[in-house]
Amino acid sequence: MSGSGNRLIAPMLATAGPPPDDERPWSFEMKFDGCRILASVGGGRDPELWTRNLNVVTGSYPEVAEALAVAFGSAERIVLDGEIVTLDRGKPSFNLLQRRMSVPRATKPLQKRIPVTYLPFDVLVRQGESFMTASYLDRRAELATLDATLQDIGGLPITVPPHWESQSGRIMLNAARSAGQEGIVGKRSTSVYLPGHRSRAWVKTAIRLRRTIVAAGFVGSNRSVAVLILGAYDAEDRLVPVGVVASGFTTTMRHQLRDDFRQLERSTSPFTEQGPPPAEAHPSGVRWLEPVTTLSIEYREYTGRGGLRHPSLKGQVFDTDPRSVRVEDL
């Protein structure tokens, strides 16, 4: 889409890395654990929502489309970039959002059961004219005027998230960690919007958790481990599955773990009868273990029965009682 055309805009993408700390002016936003969505509304057309891959998903989030029409449907064309989230106790839950992402047309009962909120953090077109060559702060100023309209109406599932200027990346990352957010995005305050480009003018820093988790089984050969099956103890002191990990291994680690496991193999699962592993955690060829080995695992989020998101093995832990590894601590 050009300034007032009808083609879909591909979103600008951030580069992963540590928070920027050079002398140039940077602004910061929270990194929300949701689904990147661009939205178009006004200009005499129905609202339209699409993903970073240019898939139109208006039917998946009809309440957002309806809210955009209420707020801006009579205006000239507006295009927003943002994130759709599902909140669980005030924090975005990607696990819940996934139940909406796979539904092409969300019914009213589903909308009520798993409500979503749109968090626009950029405005690309306003009054039918492109703002993509304007600076980030100028685009944010335009977004603030749209936010005023949303505030006047009230009650819509659209919230413009805050941004911070003249703040250090380290302080912002600590604030995101304290707030339970996914991380931060640093954006050069003078940056223009480059559709479809991954730019170093935007830097995303994800927060990852690190916890000690029990090895309950593995898949591999007689020489090395390929996948580890992970467990933790629940409130009733039962070992239950919490996911699998297949990344983070060095070749040495794969061989060393296989050697360590030779004396620990058992013929039956160590998991309780009431907590069988989910399908992805119970591959064919699994070899079960006595649950005595503890591992340091880094991951993005624990999603309950969905397991760990983006787990990575960091190494063995030798000073932890396996029974102190609790599900509630993940």
| Domains by residue range for the chain, with CATH | 13-206 (3.30.470.30), 209-329 (2.40.50.140)
Single-letter amino acid, residue 102 = S
Is the model's pLDDT at 15 over the cut of 50? yes
Per-residue pLDDT at 206: 87
Is the model's pLDDT at 58 over the cut of 50? yes
- What dihedral angle (degrees, nearest 10) is formed by the CA atoms of 138, 141, 145, 148? 160
Per-residue pLDDT at 6: 54
For residue 24, with 0-12 CB atoms within 10 Å meaning exposed, 13-18 middle and 19 or more buried, which class applies? exposed
pLDDT tens by residue, 237-277: 999 999 999 999 989 899 999 999 999 999 999 998 544 44
Whether 38 and 8 have beta carbons less than 8 Å apart is answered as yes
Per-residue pLDDT at 56: 95
CA-nearest of 88, 67, 87, 68 to 77 is 68
**70 membership: H or E segment, kind and range:** helix 62-72
pLDDT tens by residue, 101-151: 879 999 999 999 999 999 999 999 998 899 999 999 999 999 999 999 999
Per-residue pLDDT at 275: 46
Single-letter amino acid, residue 155 = G
* Average of per-residue pLDDT values in the chain: 90
Single-letter amino acid, residue 217 = G
Per-residue pLDDT at 285: 80
Most confident of the following: 21-30, 109-118, 293-302:
109-118
Per-residue pLDDT at 24: 83
> Please, which pLDDT band fits residue 181 given cuts at 50, 70 and 90?
confident
Q: How far apart are CA 128 and CA 76, in angstroms?
A: 5
Per-residue pLDDT at 4: 40
Specify the higher pLDDT residue, 156 or 282: 156
> Please, which pLDDT band fits residue 310 given cuts at 50, 70 and 90?
confident
> Please, which pLDDT band fits residue 3 given cuts at 50, 70 and 90?
very low
For residue 259, with 0-12 CB atoms within 10 Å meaning exposed, 13-18 middle and 19 or more buried, which class applies? exposed
- Rounded to an integer, the average pLDDT of 153-162 is 96
> Please, which pLDDT band fits residue 280 given cuts at 50, 70 and 90?
very low
In Å, how far are 187, 233, 322, 325 from 238, measured between CA atoms? Answer: 46, 5, 12, 11
User: Left, alpha or beta for 315 (phi > 0: left; psi -120 to 50: alpha)?
Assistant: left
Per-residue pLDDT at 178: 87
Is the model's pLDDT at 169 over the cut of 50? yes
DSSP class of residue 228? E
- Rounded to an integer, the average pLDDT of 296-301 is 87
> Please, which pLDDT band fits residue 215 given cuts at 50, 70 and 90?
very high
Is the model's pLDDT at 207 over the cut of 90? no
Is the model's pLDDT at 283 over the cut of 70? no
Beta bridge partners of 117: 85
pTM assigned to the model: 0.75
Per-residue pLDDT at 273: 57
Per-residue pLDDT at 151: 94
Per-residue pLDDT at 281: 47
- Rounded to an integer, the average pLDDT of 88-111 is 88
Specify the higher pLDDT residue, 198 or 281: 198
